Each structure stands twice: as C-alpha cells, then as structure tokens.
Structure 1
Amino acid sequence: MVSEDFIRQLEGYGLTTATILYRMPDHLSVLQTFIWQQYDVAPRFPVLHEFLDFWRRELDGPVHSVTVAHSRLIRPAEIRSVNGVLTLH
C-alpha cells in the first residue's frame, strides 16, 4: 500500500514549511511564532492559503508575517514505472 503523502509527491506536491508570526490578541505589541508544515504546490500554495484563511476567520491573533520554505522531495526524473512497478533512480 502506497502512502497518501507519497502519491501527493508524485502529483507535484512538495514539503512546505511556513513560519507564521502573529500578534497576541491581548498584547498586540508581542509577536508569537507558529510553525506550519504540510505538502503543498509551489508557487500558488493553495493548502497554505486555505490554512491562512481559516486562521483569519477563526483565530483572534492577527497574522504579522509569513515566511515560506518549499522543497519538492521527489522529482519526476527520479521515479520510473517499469511493468507497473515504481522504481527510484
């Protein structure tokens, strides 16, 4: 059985890490850090945008800034199908 994360990587998803700085609701001059990590597609990052939309809609701490790092862990040239069997190169 192939993991869902592996299938997403084959579909072009890569590991995305976002460092989110946000203001404390009761102390707006204080910044707090939240690290978010998920498989997403660069450069549009639809999964990250969905999470940030949820944050703005449901959480009290306003977002100050977001820094994003992204890496495609598997590239098309590294995987080949031979007789229906996936092999890594």
Structure 2
Amino acid sequence: MPKPPAATPAATPVSETELMLRGYGLTTAELFYRMPDYRHVLNSFVWQDYDLAPDHPRLFGFIEFWQREIEGPLHSVRFTHRKMIAPGEWRNVVGEFRYH
C-alpha cells in the first residue's frame, strides 16, 4: 500500500484511489547501478510508487536516498509515469438497480 502524501498525517491511511484523485500517478523507475566490488558489472533495481508529475518528489527522494546510503553508484535511471484517473473521470455510485 502506498505511503500517504507528506501533507497527510501518518496515522490516516490513504487508499490508492484517494491518491489518484489527488493527482498522483503510478511511477515506475528502473535504476541501473554498478556493483560495489565489480565496477564493470551493471545491475538493475525496479522501484514503483505513486508520485506527482512533473516534479516527482518521491522518485527524486528515493534517488537521493540511494546516492546517500547505497554503496552501488548509479549508472542511469529511466522512468515512466501513468496517471490512472483524474477527479473529473470518477464518480461515486450510491445505489444499485437489479433486474431479475
């Protein structure tokens, strides 16, 4: 389950649907990094979270964490962002009609 946005208190759980209604989209990044002991060997790591485009604060926060805490230096990062729904595309249905 995704983490709540920074403005929301940590005690309040936020669903994926609520995040998408707030403008978040699913961001997937593939990070290529060099192995600490074998600098000529590249490895990859896939990261995925809900993030806000075009600034991508969560993605860039994760990259900063990687550079600060992980020994394998980054070679390159490629990512994609997909906005699933927007507030105008979603509506809450209260009732249900059954036929038969």
Length-normalised TM-score, structure 2 = 0.75
Q: Which entry has the higher C-alpha Rg, 1 or 2?
A: 2
Structure 2 Cα separation of the partners of residues 3 and 43 of structure 1: 21
Instruction: For residues 43-89 of structure 1, give each alpha carbon's deviation from its aligned partner in whole angstroms, at most 9, with x where no partner exists.
Output: 11000011111111111000110001110011233113xxxxx24xx
- The corresponding residue for 1:75 is 86
Gaps of 5+ in 1: 81-85
- Percent identical across equivalent pairs? 48
Question: Partner of 2:53: helix, strand, or coil?
Answer: coil
C-alpha contact (below 8 Å) 2:22/2:87 kept by paired residues: no
Given the alignment of the two structures, is residue 38 of structure 1 paired with residue 17 of structure 2, yes or no?
Answer: no
Unaligned residue ranges in structure 2 (runs of 5+)? 1-12, 94-100
| Residue of structure 2 in register with 1:12 after alignment | 23
Root-mean-square deviation (CA, aligned residues, Å) is 1.5
What residue is the counterpart of 2:66 in the other structure?
Answer: 55
Structure number with higher strand proportion: 1
Distance 1:77 1:65 in 2: 36
What's the TM-score once normalised by structure 1's chain length? 0.84
